[in-house]
């Protein structure tokens, strides 16, 4: 509906707006941590104790978590974020409501939006979430669709900024409350062109970083036309190099990223996909042969399969994957605060 601040992809935000969300996430994380940490000296914090509390922007509000695909990190992040902001998360799985069975997306959006104050939707085809947003009277945030995964890339970028000291050329923050600035990085993505990569394509170049992508040559492993059109529209294509050899992709990389080769719903394609992605497993050997920077770091959105990255990298000192997973909570919390709590339309202008 007109005037409702929906978020489908980070392509909807400018680079300063993306930075604003990440800074908000860092603030909420810093303020919330004392309240969820073990009690000091056996005494738990209580309201009015003088310790700053997270702003209760979701007080008396209920957020619908509309999930047609199962999840660990996204569901946990959304439910705990709601609680910290004073609201309630209402999980609605495929077995819980009539959506897709006896009721259209249009009708469901209107009914849910009439009782809840925000919809966080994890769907299959991207058209499904577009339909929800078209008819919802309250903000809709994309928790994952076939094209986009904006909350994941926000968490990834917050993680990189928190670890900026690991990259040569990083600058100190202007104040104790600010995140350090990242130097221009070369980010290599090795794997399938799926929703995680798609939001990387429209985000990293606008934040000053170069992307090097390796995927098999078959057309189904390249960005679909609607995604690439957004990439070109934003001018991001000028800082993206797309190759078929993963060693070429990781050359000069500061950060190496991969994701699942077999997304939910693609299980029947598993034998062919494993064959097509032979040689794409992220390993120390691959990155050494490709000429990645000596101190390169590793990201993966999880859940991880060993075909995609070996144990040495995944559980080794290069890996930031669990900090990345933790940060799903804080970046989702920032979006809930700004869009569901405050209806901050300026964020999307």
143-168 b/e (C-beta count within 10 Å ≥ 16 → b): bbbbbbbbbbbbbbbbbbbbbbeebe
CA 200/CA 151 separation, integer angstroms: 11
> CA torsion 267→269→275→278, rounded to 10°?
-50
Judged on CB neighbours under 10 Å (0-12, 13-18, 19+), 33 is exposed
82 catalytic residue (yes or no): no
Q: Residue 68: which of 30, 44, 100 has the closest Cα?
A: 100
Looking at 82, 116, 236, 301, which residue is catalytic? Answer: 301
- Whether residue 35 contacts residue 54, with contact meaning beta carbons closer than 8 Å, is answered with yes
Residues with catalytic annotation? 301
């Amino acid at each position: 509906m007109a005037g409702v601040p929906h978020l489908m992809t980070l392509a909807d935000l400018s680079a300063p707006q993306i930075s604003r969300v990440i800074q908000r996430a860092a603030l909420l994380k810093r303020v919330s941590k004392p309240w969820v940490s073990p009690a000091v000296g056996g005494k738990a914090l209580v309201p009015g104790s003088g310790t700053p509390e997270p702003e209760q922007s979701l007080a008396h509000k209920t957020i619908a978590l509309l999930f047609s695909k199962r999840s660990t990190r996204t569901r946990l992040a959304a439910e705990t974020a709601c609680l910290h902001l004073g609201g309630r998360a209402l999980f609605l799985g495929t077995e819980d409501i009539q959506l897709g069975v006896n009721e259209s997306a249009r009708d469901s959006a209107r009914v849910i939006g009439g009782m809840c104050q925000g919809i966080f939707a994890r769907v299959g085809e991207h058209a499904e979430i577009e339909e929800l947003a078209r008819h919802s009277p309250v903000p809709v945030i994309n928790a994952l669709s076939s094209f986009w995964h904006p909350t994941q890339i926000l968490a990834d970028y917050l993680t990189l900024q928190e670890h900026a000291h690991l990259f040569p050329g990083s600058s100190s923050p202007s104040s104790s409350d600010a995140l350090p600035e990242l130097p221009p990085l070369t980010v290599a993505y090795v794997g399938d062109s799926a929703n995680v990569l798609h939001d990387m394509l429209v985000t990293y170049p606008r934040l000053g970083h170069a992307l090097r992508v390796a995927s098999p040559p078959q057309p189904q492993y390249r960005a679909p036309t609607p995604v690439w059109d957004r990439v070109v529209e934003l001018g991001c294509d000028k800082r993206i190099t797309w190759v078929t050899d993963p060693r070429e992709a990781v050359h000069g990389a500061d950060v190496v990223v991969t994701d699942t080769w077999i997304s939910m719903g693609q299980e029947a394609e598993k034998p062919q996909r494993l064959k097509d992605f032979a040689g794409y497993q992220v390993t120390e050997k691959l990155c050494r042969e490709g000429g990645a920077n000596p101190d390169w770091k590793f990201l993966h959105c999880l859940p991880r399969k060993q075909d995609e990255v070996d144990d040495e990298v995944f559980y080794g000192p290069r890996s930031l994957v669990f900090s990345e997973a933790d940060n799903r909570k804080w970046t989702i919390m920032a979006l809930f605060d700004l869009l569901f709590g405050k209806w901050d339309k300026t964020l999307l202008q």
